[in-house]
Structure 1
């Protein structure tokens, strides 16, 4: 099914009697139950005001089209959403609605926030076929819920997005990355956290293959000054990568390029940055073999582990439950998917709250059933 208008989508959902698998571009490799409900027919720019830094676009619009439109005016989506296709071996075209539904956010999150922080408004159709609008360009409000934030990261389980309103930002004149090789995870996290605490406006802090990288963006003169000052503040020993070469480093980290084409399951862990080194050491001590990339100053951990038994799920999620955070199984084969849930199991009170929200917005349990239940 591929509705072409919001009204058609609402009528379709009102008439539905069986589970539906909501999908945008189908690039995230998630196994869903039910007949496919594609949003690609809901496409096109509704409003773009570069001077007001505002974009309103239909949810099924390809992300590439959105980014190309913004680039014409020297603007961008500052949260730099990841492209999952190479890592997961999927096809299709990522859609802006899919980005919002999964709250996809890249390395710049440490400076500007996540996708949800750039959402001004949403329109969507609930599982009962009701059209709801919240936030910017409001036509109908549902009192008591911040639906703009609620829909970001709901993975299509509360409603099918039809339109999103976004804050966009100017593309900087220049960027540069300080890199320092030969650091272990503990030293890298210490340096990254220290860098984020300086006044030099760091927009990315990651660790790839033993190399720490710190990004700065803005006017060319400002970037040059801040890069020099930051390197001195961190004790020297840093090299500088600029322009396109710098951008390539962050695309590779954003899209987890070192894991592309490599065997094994891939986990995405969210923790407090200072917890990362100890967590990695404990996993290694427990026999969980892994390759690791760090983003968000260590707050985002990408792990590639052998896809044997539970791919370390019990140990990984046990550690996460103890220290706080989330462990999401991003890439796995069918057998592993059948036994290990994608999302971190929630504490009972949170699970009850989420179940209540799903019952409110999708009372018949039609939309991506089981995807987040029990998580």
Structure 2
């Protein structure tokens, strides 16, 4: 930027400020941070005026006051180099700095208070064939997925600091673009604070048999209230269990074709999965999961052999489809596990009390229940994409909602 361009742009910014344009704040802070205004011939008085106008455009939210404090301190440093230095103005700036510092401290203390309280941390114990994958690698993959997907640009982060001025219809002015999912703390928290279930291979569910993924395919007749596993042989659909042939058309709307790809996560420990015959290592785990995949009404149930032990008197375990699952054409079932799994056989419950660490604990399984979204014929979830989210929550007997007592 040349000196003439800088002078012209400064005048433009000051005009925006006088008009109380919404774009002024983001553009002004970018100009202040990215350009050497002194080298560009911008006088200290002009820099001071621009900085003060920028502080006045910052949203009246304490979480933005770190930036406001930075600008006020810079303005006070500049004041002594200007032609209109005045002790009273310097004193006013000092008071503004003290006031902003105090308000920022109040905000920070309020935000910290809930985190500093001592807590009795609950431990949930996981039994799984692949603890390193599910407990470590999958969580790392989920964090990277959400950060890459929702990371704010530098411009969007800057725009968050400004607001309160009357809005005009300027949808193409990117300096005003700040209403992004990644800027909403609760939106991000529900994605980054959970425990994530995913698969190291692609998963496809379709209402048509076309183009299945390469590891293998299962077929289910699945509708509300009833489901049944099938297989395709000699041009006919037949029972998965005994081969009995059924007169079901391949375009029956209740059919679901489930297929998996080979392993696509390069860090997945494929070599640790037992193989049989000439099955390549990259197909061993997908085939094992596919073999144990079932159905429950209209849902496909993908079992990862992921068993959770928890103290049901203190916590429950909420499992639900990942927040972004709909983008891939799926709906996920949701469930709250408040006790031990109730549909197993007697030896399972006897074994559940055989070890000292199991005393007082309940157990249940985290399975992935998926169905296609209404109006969707085919959905594919790429590998390393969060499919389900697990949230430990307080058990119902541990809390209650109450009305605020009237004074």
TM-score between both structures, scaled by the size of structure 2: 0.21
TM-score between both structures, scaled by the size of structure 1: 0.22
Decide which structure has the larger Cα Rg and report it: 2
